[in-house]
Structure 1
């Protein structure tokens, strides 16, 4: 991944990840961008400092492929390593599916994020018009999984005590 980025081998408007040995290159849809912006706006309203919130920035997972969640919220004092951060500093990861029943977001990311102790994982799915909020990570997944239909309010409770209220009624949908 570092080599691709260093050579500017990523076309503008595309997102590239190496996941389980596969290079995944997808353009971001308008729905993904709008949804991430809605979540980011809610995070700012909750007064989480911008230095702790970013999108599509590399997160390092020791011994595994790195990831770049659509939106990441870090712990206070997270240390920057070049243009990346360590997964142990991630409090929450948000992903917006780019295709229906996205195996990467619903299966592989669930296992990986939980295994590395990311306390909160939110999937926003514009195809299902549904958010899936996962908490209480363990070795193979999350102990608590809650589905919130688009249009209903959603609250993210970080382990820091911060509460992020998200209005999902403006989340865009796809057919």
Structure 2
């Protein structure tokens, strides 16, 4: 399915900031695969001395930002799976700042985080590939808003691009 097939009511307005970073003719699985490859290549290009750098007090380091992307991908994959399986319960939001604070990212090495990002994302690609068109279109409630599994897939790719842009502008 292509991004251009998404309808505005498939996810909350906030998430369109991420989806709109993806070209209209982009196909879901191809986008996730290319985004994964591009992000891994980008992460590998970051100089070693920048991984623990933070551009201001209270801002995340690059290590923490990559951990945030890993955590968020896991959460979004769970949400997509839940909706594809027609979960009727509302799924909670999460406090991304608390997740980063308690992640232990600062004790990890860049190569380890890069590999984890790659593995988590590849697992997600298998997940999205397993969904039928009907499963992808299933709606559910997350963080008090309606979303579809297919919209979540595009959010994952756009969210990574958003953070790539932040790293480029403020960390490198």
TM-score bracket, normalised by the shorter chain, equals under 0.3
- Look at both structures and tell me which one has the larger radius of gyration over its CA atoms: 2
More helix by share: 2
Higher RCO, Cα 8 Å, sep 6+: 2
More strand by share: 1
**TM-score of the two chains, using structure 1 as the length reference:** 0.26
